[in-house]
Amino acid sequence: MAPYFIKNLVPRRGNTDNSGIIPALASLTWVQWAQFWSGWLAWTCDALDFFSVSLTVTDLAVQFGKSSQKITTAITLTLLFRSVGAVIFGILSDRFGRKWPLIINLIICCVLELGTGFVQTFSQFLAVRSLFGIAMGGIWGLSSSNALENVPVELRGLASGILQQGYAVGYLLAAVINLTIVPRHNWRALFYFGACISFFAAIIRTLVPESEVFIKAKELERAKGANTAAKTKVFIHETKEMLKLHWKLCIYAVLLMTGFNFLSHGSQDLYPTYLETTKGFSSHDATIATIIGNCGAIAGGAIAGWGSQYIGRRLTIIICVLLVGAFIPLWIIPSSFSALSAGAFWVQFGVQGAWGVIPIQLAEMSPPAFRATFPGVAYQIGNMVSSASAQIEATAGSHIKTTIIKNGQPEVVDDYATVQGILIGVVAAYVVIVTIVGPENHASHFEKHKAAFEEGGGHDDAFMDDDQVGRPRSIREVEDEKAFSA
């Protein structure tokens, strides 16, 4: 007899809550659209700046007189400090609301991106990138909770996939800027552009109302006469209760996100360097191949997110990761631009397809009142554990050599192809195993739950007193209400 977690890979028909994508899209108000896209834009800005370093490793090495391995220290430091930001801004969001913590977070990102463009020494560069890691760490949890809790249940799989691919779009934008603007100016232009986009995202979020779920929770607390000090005291108490109940789930989520972060950073952070060093590509061709890979990522995220609404979150992740494993040979063996670009497209289709399910999988898995803090912290601790992935690849590549023909002459170079092939293969197998044994709370109505500053919020069965007001209803509920009225 198969274990429960395998039999439960595909959600039962009655739990899918699918009344149709088109009716659900038609039901969205402009506020719901704005809340979703403001979260998406914030995450896009975050990715644009992060990958600005990956795309300019060679230029930065020349600027500061350091090796590529030394430059990747900046990537490691950014990833290490992201968990700090996730804790700080996640707690602020679950305590005070989605809007202003995200705005403040974006403005800090803007200032630090601008600061990166003005650094003059390598020490300054590392310091600013470390601080940026703290700011960057808050964005994902806030963007995800802001976007997903305001859309109907039927759309959350698709919304999750599109939201997560803000990351790929940010990488794509950084690649396009690197291809068109940086050659005419220098690497600093990437960070100036990123600062402008982050400031624009902060302005957009300022114009969009607070999450309706939070507005309702605050109204209920005001009606009870609770003040700020009392709500903070309750928040701290409920946080302790949540940790007592869900410490095993916290460990599992970190293990899952460690694998996912190794999968994404192992296949993305040094990809341009891999093509330029091991395959002898020009910077221009490496950037074009990166753009093609990100097109695959965007398509994979949207399709997988939508599919997860029907076949389940975990099964969708497993299918996508198996696809990654199947295309590793096309990722590393060829030498031609067309074949390697095709490998990049399909590997990133699988990597970001699996990632496209993660925002909603973590949101549904989370203790409901902590759906900004829990996913954000799990994600960023996983990032912290995997933070050395770029340095691992750079160090391993410097010890494993291969020979290529460059300008008609044989040349010994670092073999990033072998290193990435081994790393991605091992991590893909790990992610499949961890995903299979994990929980799934498909089509959860987490928006009906009490906020973390309400008494009982730390327990899974604590629902709002009036759960039909101030939350995005499913299309099925709307249709049932109309039928009853008729």
39 confidence band (pLDDT: 50, 70, 90): very high
| 78-92 mean pLDDT | 88
Whether the CB-CB separation of 414 and 430 falls below 8 Å is answered with no
Give per-residue burial for 291-316: e unless 16+ CB within 10 Å, then b: bbbbbbbbbbbbbbbbbbbebbbbbb
Condensed to tens digits (0 to 9), the pLDDT of residues 170-229 reads 988 998 888 888 888 889 999 999 999 999 999 999 999 988 777 876 777 677 666 666
Q: Mean pLDDT throughout 383-401?
A: 85
pLDDT at 348: 95
Say whether pLDDT at 21 is over 60.
Answer: yes
Output Rg (C-alpha) for the chain, integer angstroms. Answer: 22
pLDDT at 238 over 80: no
- Please tell me which residue, 145 or 444, carries the higher pLDDT value: 145
Q: How confident is the model at residue 443 (pLDDT cuts 50, 70, 90)?
A: low
Most confident range, picked from 1-5, 213-217, 280-284: 280-284
Q: What is the reported pLDDT for 474? A: 46
- pLDDT, tens only, 93-134: 888 888 999 999 999 999 999 999 999 999 999 999 999 999
User: Which residues, other chains included, contact 476 with Cβ-Cβ below 8 Å and sequence gap of 6+?
Assistant: 17, 19
Residue that the structure tokens 């400031």 belong to: 199
CB of 226 closer than 8 Å to CB of 457: no
H or E segment at 410? strand 409-414
Please tell me the predicted confidence (pLDDT) of residue 462. Answer: 62
Mean pLDDT, range 429-450, rounded to an integer: 83
Mean pLDDT score, 167-172? 88
Q: For all residues of the chain together, what is the average pLDDT?
A: 84
Residues 265-293: what's their mean pLDDT? 88
Q: Is the pLDDT of residue 44 over 90?
A: yes
Q: With bands split at pLDDT 50, 70 and 90, how would you rate the model's confidence at 444? A: confident
Q: Is pLDDT larger for residue 24 or for residue 64? A: 64
